[in-house]
Structure 1
Amino acid sequence: MFVLELTYTAPVERVDALMAEHITWLDAQYAAGAFLASGRKNPRDGGLILAVGDDRAQIEKIAAADPFAAGGVCAYRITEFIATKTSPELAPYRQ
């Protein structure tokens, strides 16, 4: 599993200008089964995504395709972790 932490590197107005494209990208990743949860940080200086994938390279490629990343309004920090304990709903992702 992976935690993708987005930190905005531009004013929130520039982020908001790309929000519709970002949501379309999110929807595609959910449909593909790569994303399990996502949302804004509070305070609103970025967001978090819980993702699954075969390897880090795949997740890095997905993150690079985010319109926020392509548009230069966020930086990604990707953390891989081994989910040894989960809720029953996330049991398929347990390792």
Structure 2
Amino acid sequence: MFVMELTYTAPIERVDELSEAHVAWLDALYEEGVVLASGRKNPRDGGVLIAVGDDRARIEAIAATDPYAVGGVCEYRITEFVATKTAPALERYKQQPLA
């Protein structure tokens, strides 16, 4: 599982210009089952996505296609973690601890 934290690198007005495309990008990732949750950080200086995938390189490639990244208004920090405990609704994403 991955935490995809994005931080805005441009004025919020430039970010807002790309918001519609960013939301469409997110909608496609939800449809694919890659993103489980997402939202703006508070204060609004970026956002956070919780994603699933077997391969960090794939998640990094997905982040690179975000209209915010393509438009040069954000940078991503991606953290991989092993979800050894989950809420019942996320049980199918539960993972075994690494040896």
Output the CA distance in 1 between the equivalents of 2:93 and 2:69.
Answer: 26
Q: Where does residue 35 of structure 1 map in the other structure?
A: 35
Q: How does 1:18-57 map to 2 (within 5 A)?
A: 18-57=18-57
Cα deviation digits, residues 53-94 of structure 1 (max 9, x gap): 121011001100000000000000000000000000111111
Mapping of residues 1-95 of structure 1, within 5 Å: 1-95=1-95
Unmatched 5+ stretches in structure 1? none
Alpha-carbon distance in structure 2 between the residues aligned to 1:18 and 1:40: 14
The runs of 4+ residues in structure 1 deviating greater than 4 Å are: none
Q: What TM-score results when the alignment is normalised by the length of structure 2?
A: 0.95
Percent same amino acid at aligned positions?
Answer: 71
TM-score after normalising by structure 1? 0.99
CA root-mean-square deviation: 0.4
Report how far residue 28 of structure 1 moved: 0.3
Which AA in structure 1 matches 2:27? D
Count of residue pairs brought into register by the alignment: 95
- Determine which structure has more spread, i.e. the larger CA radius of gyration: 2
Gaps of 5+ in 2: none
